[in-house]
Structure 1
Amino acid sequence: MFDNFELFLTTLLRGAPLTVAATGGGIVLTILLSFVAGLAMLSRSRWVRFLARVYVEGWRGTSEVVQLFWIYFAVPLLVGFQLVPLWAGILVLGLNHGAYGAEIVRGAVNAVPRAQHEGAIALNLGPAQRIRKVILPQAFVEMVPPFNNLFIQLLKSSSLLSLITVTEITNQGVQVLVPNYTGQALTIFLIMLVLYLILSLVITVVMRLVERWAARVAGRPATARARVTGELGI
């Protein structure tokens, strides 16, 4: 069963850097879009909320495969140039998972007790200051676990980039190894599963460290918030 194991592992590992690059780039874009769209959905402006909701529902409600094909194959026909496959993949991963992340941000901010909002207002903090100094430090702690799940899902979705010729792990396994070693497909797919599992565990470990850091950060303004709410009798 494990004949040519070293060859299979070496070949699949050649695709690992592109899998990591696609996942890392997708995560960065996901975080950016999650906060922009999530906070936009809480805006006082009806038009800002509407545009954010259109983005969220549009990207959550359509197929990720079709989105990938649209960005890579259809959009070039409209704009006259084609993105590099990896960048097209990162763009789709970020846009798609950013739509889900926006709901995480919105829900976490809404979960912050109303008294914290009122205490910040009583201190004459502006909207940006309230969000940055009081609301987000508390909300961020609640965001980390669901973002962990979202980033793992993004990692698994990176395998779709094999459909647009990105030579990541799945492409190396399905397009390079399996056609030449059909009788050992089980071994190839098993190694692929283990590689994705390892990368998922890395994401989980990093996010747990982030969660601990976020809890400490949220603890620093907690004393000030407690003093503020105490003085206000909240």
Structure 2
Amino acid sequence: MTDNLEALGRALPRILDGLLITVELTVGGALLALIIAVVLGLLARVDNILLRGFARVVIELFRGTSLVVQLFFFFFVLPLPPFNLDLPPILVGLVGLGLNYGAYAAEVVRGSINSVPKGQWEATTALSMSRAQRMRRIIFPQAWALMIPSLNNLLIQLLKGTAVVYTITIVDLTNVFNKLRIETDVFFAYTIALIIYFLLAYALSSFMGLLERRATAKLGRGRKKTKAVPDLKGAATA
């Protein structure tokens, strides 16, 4: 046990570096995924068949293929002709995670917007709101409160998905512990890894829980009144 602790102490700088990479991939990938999700989720609802078809193709492509294969494509294929696009490994990881989980999150965005009560849509029409005003001021705030729990699950999945980026030479947390097990033993190394990943996931879940509480509070919903409909007239004139 003493030898394991000594090895852990020696590996601490590498663990911190790997932890930083994992956090960067998680936060950066999540932000990119959110942007992609909102764009694709909205496009998947438009009347224009070309835009809607584009969104569906992108969503199904990245949901229907492996994250590992996508990372390999971006890392090994894009540098070749005719693409000639040589991206840094960390950027490949961010793009791969963002596109993959953004495609899943796009369905969450689309479904949450569709779940907003029909009466809210009709009321915005009665108030002569433009499409942009209707979405920004009335529909999306309500949909946002609905989508946060599902986005929380995808965020945790994205955190765990960062573990595969070591396949494209990125020294993340998993890669560091793969090396640490050689210096210690399998049980010790991966137990420490499990604890760190759990703490990261717990911190992310706590943050998303805070966002959910704030989102529902802004809509005037109490914790036990999750089905209450906000005051539309007040929201529209705010």
Same fold (TM over 0.5): yes
The structure 2 residue matched to 1:135, chosen from 108, 127, 139, is 139
**Secondary structure of the structure 2 residue equivalent to 1:214:** helix
1:82 is displaced (CA, Å) by: 1.4
**Secondary structure of the structure 2 residue equivalent to 1:219:** coil
Partner of 1:232: none
Q: Equivalent residues in 2 for 1:72-87 (5 A)?
A: 72-78=75-81, 79-87=83-91
Q: Does 1:153 align with 2:157?
A: yes
Higher RCO (CA < 8 A, seq sep 6+): 1
The structure 1 residue matched to 2:26, chosen from 20, 23, 26, is 23
The one-letter code sitting in structure 2 at the alignment partner of 1:202 is: A
The one-letter code sitting in structure 1 at the alignment partner of 2:80 is: L
The structure 1 residue matched to 2:55, chosen from 31, 38, 52, is 52
The one-letter code sitting in structure 2 at the alignment partner of 1:187 is: F
Contact 1:108 1:140 in 2 (8 A): yes
Contact 1:148 1:204 in 2 (8 A): yes
Contact 2:138 2:235 in 1 (8 A): no
Distance 1:5 1:13 in 2: 16
Cα deviation, 1:81-105, whole Å, max 9, x if unaligned, reads 4111111000000000000000000
How many aligned residue pairs are there? 225
| Alignment root-mean-square deviation, CA | 1.9
Q: Does 1:201 align with 2:209?
A: no
The structure 2 residue matched to 1:36, chosen from 21, 35, 39, is 39
Contact 1:148 1:207 in 2 (8 A): yes
Higher helix share: 1
TM-score (norm 1): 0.91
Are the structure 2 counterparts of residues 50 and 6 from structure 1 closer, same or farther at C-alpha, using a change threshold of 3 Å?
A: farther
Contact 2:43 2:51 in 1 (8 A): yes
**Secondary structure of the structure 2 residue equivalent to 1:118:** helix
Are the structure 2 counterparts of residues 2 and 45 from structure 1 closer, same or farther at C-alpha, using a change threshold of 3 Å?
A: farther
Q: Does 1:223 align with 2:231?
A: yes
How much identity, in percent, do the aligned residues show? 39
Distance 1:224 1:80 in 2: 52
Partner of 1:8: 8
1:12 is displaced (CA, Å) by: 2.3
Contact 1:27 1:154 in 2 (8 A): yes
Partner of 1:104: 108
Distance 1:12 1:38 in 2: 37
Contact 1:31 1:101 in 2 (8 A): yes
Are the structure 2 counterparts of residues 222 and 54 from structure 1 closer, same or farther at C-alpha, using a change threshold of 3 Å?
A: same
Q: Does 1:90 align with 2:91?
A: no
Are the structure 2 counterparts of residues 26 and 44 from structure 1 closer, same or farther at C-alpha, using a change threshold of 3 Å?
A: same
**Secondary structure of the structure 2 residue equivalent to 1:115:** helix
Partner of 1:231: none
Contact 1:2 1:187 in 2 (8 A): no
Q: Which moved more, 1:216-225 or 1:21-30?
A: 216-225
Are the structure 2 counterparts of residues 190 and 117 from structure 1 closer, same or farther at C-alpha, using a change threshold of 3 Å?
A: same
Contact 1:137 1:214 in 2 (8 A): yes
Partner of 1:123: 127
Q: Does 1:114 align with 2:111?
A: no
Cα deviation, 1:16-49, whole Å, max 9, x if unaligned, reads 0000001010000010000000011110111111
Q: Which moved more, 1:218-227 or 1:84-93?
A: 218-227
